Chain A
Amino acid sequence: MDRIDRRTFLKTTSLAGGAIIAAPVLFNGCAMTGTNLTFAGTERGGYFEKEFGITDSLCKKVLAKALSKGGDFADLYFEHTISNSLGLEDKKVDRAYTSVNLGVGIRTVKGEQVGFGFTQELTEKSMMAAAAMAATIADGSATPVAGKFAAVRTGDYYPLTGTKPAPLAPRLSLVESTAGKCFARSNYVIKTIARFNDARKRIMVVTSDGVKAEDLLPDSALSSMVTVERNGRKEQFWFALGGRYDFSYFTDDIAREVAEGVVDGAVTLLDAVVPPAGEIPVVFAPGDTGVLFHEAVGHGFEADFNRKKISIYSTMMGQKVAEPIVTVVDDGTWPGARGSINFDDEGTPSQKTVLVENGILKSYLHDRISAKHYGLSSTGNGRRESYENYPVPRMRNTYILPGASKPQEIIESVKKGIYIQDVSNGQVNIGQGDFAFYVSRGRLIENGKLGATIKDINIMGSGPKLLRDITMVADDLKLGWNGLSVCGKDGQLVPIDCGMPTVLVKSLTVGGTGKQGA
């Protein structure tokens, strides 16, 4: 039902700057993945040479072709991804999906110009043709390729416990037991959908300046959506847990946590009242409400939007953008988090990058092109969806650091406002700085106390104003951990996570249907 032509989507998202999607991705059937294919082992080096005969000398030859007309550098991005998914909508797992993606992207960079080709055939002939295509961005004489490739030094932020993915039986049982727990949790549950996704992505980045980096990135999530009904009123809710984990993470306790999260969330919505409309104070619960920062702040700090002068933040470096209680980071090193990477898709080691430190704008998020533009080092944010795309600056795990306040005192400080618990998606206009995110569940705050449940509200604001309006930050930082969040930009989706502690924003536009501040 949702046919969007590629270019429209591409331009819509790129003009909007970016959008983060969590819940809808799982159940719209477009991201179907698979059954039981496995990689040979979990060792991270030598895979592409062993399986596909990609030797250093072949890489050198292809890189030389990519630089045959000059350019600053060229890189090769090899990928072999196997994704599996098991799903149920009638108590038993009755559908399985597998997806295999294999190919290499070849890029030639000259200043801020990019030539890019890719091929799904890892043969010398196909790769040389793609390299010749990439080379057309330049028109001078050849640039030399490094004589030797060296591995990058980096941490391991998602260690794997076994050499093989889990067999099918325990995965089937995990999904079915989650659904069973949902029905057992409440008599109001009339429908449960559950799914287990797991993917293993093998990548190898080889650059003309001598970097060779190989990795195996796991990515798994257990999710459920339920519909509840009481006295003719129906509501739905979605909940998931996951990250860069293998199957050992998904214990019976995780299944219980998912079932409790989704059913309890849905049941509370049965009592939801009409949400207010207008400009009011908003308190954010800790966790994936961090979409707020991803949208309002994160995209605007991506360096490509700044070097192109699109971003509202492009003239604010070093300036005060928030109160001193606010420090915002983009962290690719949080163990197991969905946005963590050992190195980025250009071969730069991952890091924890401080964007705003005690209220002062300190750094953008850089890939190699923007780092060169600003005369800095890359922050390891050059990411891409697959070999079919060239990398651009992207977030990893973005969050605000804990402050000194207690969550309770923040709620008590608000006379009339709302408390946001769950957020499903968001979007930002980079240039204007306006952002929006969609609240799937929250509460009213009346005289410092949490009141009735509210739902289905779009909340909007201006990014720079929002940063200035953060007046309290609590000590209870949490990431989202739903294992399925993706961020869209330039038509590319990449896995991310975001989070924050309990935070008070003194005023935001709440798009409800009730009266102002009601």
Chain B
Amino acid sequence: MNKQMYDLCKWVLDTAGRAGAKDLRVSLGKSRLVEIQYRDKKPEIIKQATTLQMGIDLFVAGRYSSQNTCDLRKDALKEFISDAVSTTKLIAEDPYRTLPDPKYYKGRADMDLKIADASIDELSAEQKHTMVKAAESAAWSAGGEKVVMVEAWFSDALGESVTLTSNGFSGDTRSTNFNVGASVSVRDDDNRRPEAYDYADCRMRKKLASPETIGANAARKALAKLGAKKIATATLPIIIENRNVRRITKGFFDALDGRNIYRKQSFLADKKGQKIGSDKFIIVDDPFILEGAGSRLYDGDGFAAKKRTIIEAGVPKDFYIDWYYSRKLGCEPTSGSTGNMIVPAGTRSVDEIIKDLGKGILVTDFLGGNSNPTTGDFSVGIFGQFFDGGKIVHPVSEMNIADNHLKFWHKLAECANDPWLYSDWRTPSMVFTDVVVSGV
């Protein structure tokens, strides 16, 4: 626990109270980061810094404002708070804006989530440079003469936060993050320069994949993109690679958000309890996974974290409703933000599924695209590998899929056995059948 950070937060609570704000939430975040990037066998970027950021939510006479500052000189802060309180009094009253009912703070799990690696300070600058060089060198070796550029990097960060509210909430967090990766550009016959990357991102340094593996994977992925072409528009099965599933799921999740529901911008507002996807469509929000990127004991409102089933066999069971929108919607709050999103893995590998499906596209990247939360319509560019006869035939580029989320998730036929663990979205590769893929 960082006493200095607590003391400053308490000082803000007192100072705001004297300025006329009796109800408030104050958060102080501190992070220290180091980044090292190499290109052409020498350091390209060395960056290091520590940042502090304070956030204050004010609830004054039924009115609300939110402030952020990194100017933490006490004189400046005092004036900042006093100005903020005066301004807040001038805007319209909002009866729904209050600090949460403290009963939701209760029941916080008493456990160590293992999200802070005590050894973060033990890694020397030299060791970090060695890891980056290893990733870079492995990428050049695995890529061969087609490689035109390799960038490799290592970063680590230590984050600490303290949050206090005037109605009794108190919480602090400490977490670490390690990232090692490489990106590789290769030259194609027609001067195109496809690039690919691979990385590992972990709470604990010992869980990082080896830099050599990451560098070599990045090169292999780049080489696999050589000679990409479009195929004719067709209705095919597609497999969305594990680390990209999140991108397609995001448009769906926006519609589960209480804010969008209140704003009448959600195609799921009236779909709770209804079948909107196949039985394979299951998502569980588990904030308690040890070493998880999205693990936490409380959320932004201070609510004690809970494990929840969000989608069960294609049926939405729960929305993301924070305190404010629960009051506007007249319902119980859940949480306004996600923890670790788990899609249960299947039993077969992507290779086995490709063999079984025969013909289709393995989607390895998305490009552009967007999703309309009001209607569920989406359209997004895809890149990947066309397979036929159970084997990869050639890479595809510049193709597109378009659908509506209320139809698309019924096409989910299978999840592979390869959950992606370097993210708070722990998703395996997913197989969708009968998708219109537009091309030539």
A457 to B403: give the CA distance in the assembly, Å: 10
Q: Are B67 and A99 in contact (CB under 8 A)?
A: yes
A234 partner residues in chain B, CB cutoff 8 A: 264, 374-375
Interface stretch (choices B38-46, B104-112, B165-173): B38-46
Shortest Cβ distance from residue B223 to the other chain A in the assembled complex, whole angstroms: 13
For B67, the closest partner residue in chain A by CB is A98
B401 partner residues in chain A, CB cutoff 8 A: 511
User: Cβ of A102 < 8 Å from any Cβ of B?
Assistant: yes
User: Cβ of A187 < 8 Å from any Cβ of B?
Assistant: no
Q: Which of B31-58 contact A (CB under 8 A)?
A: 39, 42-52
Shortest Cβ distance from residue B74 to the other chain A in the assembled complex, whole angstroms: 13
Shortest Cβ distance from residue B329 to the other chain A in the assembled complex, whole angstroms: 13
User: Cβ of A481 < 8 Å from any Cβ of B?
Assistant: no
Q: Are A462 and B400 in contact (CB under 8 A)?
A: no
Q: Are A116 and B372 in contact (CB under 8 A)?
A: no
Shortest Cβ distance from residue A266 to the other chain B in the assembled complex, whole angstroms: 10
A308 partner residues in chain B, CB cutoff 8 A: 39, 149, 151, 185
B45 partner residues in chain A, CB cutoff 8 A: 113-114, 116, 390
A510 to B369: give the CA distance in the assembly, Å: 11
A29 partner residues in chain B, CB cutoff 8 A: 259
Q: Which of B355-405 contact A (CB under 8 A)?
A: 365, 367-370, 372-375, 377-381, 383, 397-403
Q: Are A190 and B264 in contact (CB under 8 A)?
A: yes
B64 partner residues in chain A, CB cutoff 8 A: 94-96
For B336, the closest partner residue in chain A by CB is A1
A505 partner residues in chain B, CB cutoff 8 A: none
Question: Given contacts A1-B253, A312-B191, is CB(A458)–CB(B369) below 8 Å?
Answer: yes
Q: Are A94 and B368 in contact (CB under 8 A)?
A: no
Interface contact tally, CB-CB below 8 A: 303
Q: Which of A174-224 contact B (CB under 8 A)?
A: 190-191, 193
Shortest Cβ distance from residue B278 to the other chain A in the assembled complex, whole angstroms: 20
Q: Which of B183-240 contact A (CB under 8 A)?
A: 183, 185, 191-197, 199, 201, 225, 228, 230, 233
A457 to B377: give the CA distance in the assembly, Å: 9
User: Cβ of B161 < 8 Å from any Cβ of A?
Assistant: no
For A516, the closest partner residue in chain B by CB is B233
* Other-chain residue from A94, A100, A510 in contact with B69 (beta carbon distance below 8 A): A100
For A169, the closest partner residue in chain B by CB is B90
A120 partner residues in chain B, CB cutoff 8 A: 51-52, 70-72
User: Cβ of B432 < 8 Å from any Cβ of A?
Assistant: no
B402 partner residues in chain A, CB cutoff 8 A: 275, 277, 456-458, 511-513
Q: Which of B1-53 contact A (CB under 8 A)?
A: 39, 42-52
User: Cβ of B130 < 8 Å from any Cβ of A?
Assistant: no
User: Cβ of A405 < 8 Å from any Cβ of B?
Assistant: no
A95 to B97: give the CA distance in the assembly, Å: 9
A2 to B247: give the CA distance in the assembly, Å: 10
A294 to B34: give the CA distance in the assembly, Å: 32
Name which of B43, B151, B265 has the most chain A CB atoms within 10 A of its CB: B265
Interface stretch (choices A5-13, A240-248, A469-477): A5-13
Shortest Cβ distance from residue B26 to the other chain A in the assembled complex, whole angstroms: 14
Interface size on B, residues (CB 8 A): 100
Q: Are A511 and B400 in contact (CB under 8 A)?
A: yes
A458 partner residues in chain B, CB cutoff 8 A: 368-370, 379-381, 400, 402
Question: Given contacts A114-B45, A512-B379, is CB(A35)–CB(B193) below 8 Å?
Answer: no
Question: Given contacts A5-B293, A509-B398, is CB(A436)–CB(B381) below 8 Å?
Answer: yes
Shortest Cβ distance from residue A173 to the other chain B in the assembled complex, whole angstroms: 12
Q: Are B70 and A511 in contact (CB under 8 A)?
A: no
Interface stretch (choices B79-87, B115-123, B136-144): B79-87
User: Cβ of B92 < 8 Å from any Cβ of A?
Assistant: yes
User: Cβ of B349 < 8 Å from any Cβ of A?
Assistant: no
Q: Are B65 and A3 in contact (CB under 8 A)?
A: no
A308 to B67: give the CA distance in the assembly, Å: 41
Q: Are B338 and A3 in contact (CB under 8 A)?
A: yes
Q: Are A136 and B46 in contact (CB under 8 A)?
A: yes
Q: Are A94 and B97 in contact (CB under 8 A)?
A: yes
A436 partner residues in chain B, CB cutoff 8 A: 367-369, 380-381, 400
A432 partner residues in chain B, CB cutoff 8 A: 192-195, 225, 228, 397
* Other-chain residue from B70, B380, B439 in contact with A101 (beta carbon distance below 8 A): B70
User: Cβ of A70 < 8 Å from any Cβ of B?
Assistant: no
Interface stretch (choices A328-336, A340-348, A360-368, A419-427): A419-427
A458 to B366: give the CA distance in the assembly, Å: 11
A156 to B24: give the CA distance in the assembly, Å: 42
* Other-chain residue from A96, A101, A440 in contact with B88 (beta carbon distance below 8 A): A96
User: Cβ of B155 < 8 Å from any Cβ of A?
Assistant: yes
Q: Are A130 and B49 in contact (CB under 8 A)?
A: yes
Q: Are A94 and B94 in contact (CB under 8 A)?
A: yes
B87-101 CB mask vs A (1 if < 8 Å, else 0) is 110111110010000
Q: Are B155 and A97 in contact (CB under 8 A)?
A: no
Q: Are A511 and B193 in contact (CB under 8 A)?
A: no
Question: Given contacts A7-B179, A116-B45, A456-B377, is CB(A16)–CB(B264) below 8 Å?
Answer: no
Question: Given contacts A15-B197, A462-B398, is CB(A93)–CB(B83) below 8 Å?
Answer: no
User: Cβ of A168 < 8 Å from any Cβ of B?
Assistant: yes
Q: Are B201 and A5 in contact (CB under 8 A)?
A: yes
B201 partner residues in chain A, CB cutoff 8 A: 5, 7-8
Shortest Cβ distance from residue B175 to the other chain A in the assembled complex, whole angstroms: 11
A308 to B369: give the CA distance in the assembly, Å: 28
A34 partner residues in chain B, CB cutoff 8 A: 65-68
For B97, the closest partner residue in chain A by CB is A94
Q: Which of B387-440 contact A (CB under 8 A)?
A: 397-403, 423-424, 436, 438-440
Q: Are B66 and A460 in contact (CB under 8 A)?
A: no
Shortest Cβ distance from residue A371 to the other chain B in the assembled complex, whole angstroms: 17
A514 to B46: give the CA distance in the assembly, Å: 50
If A227-B263, A424-B370 are given as contacts, then 12 extra A-B residue pairs at C-beta distance below 8 Å, sorted by A number, are A7-B179, A11-B199, A89-B262, A93-B91, A236-B373, A277-B233, A309-B148, A388-B49, A434-B398, A455-B372, A458-B381, A511-B438
Q: Which 3 A-B pairs give the minimum distances between C-beta atoms?
A: A436-B368, A511-B400, A431-B193
A and B contact pairs by CB, cutoff 8 A, 11 listed: A2-B250, A93-B91, A193-B263, A309-B185, A312-B193, A390-B47, A432-B193, A440-B370, A456-B402, A457-B402, A460-B368
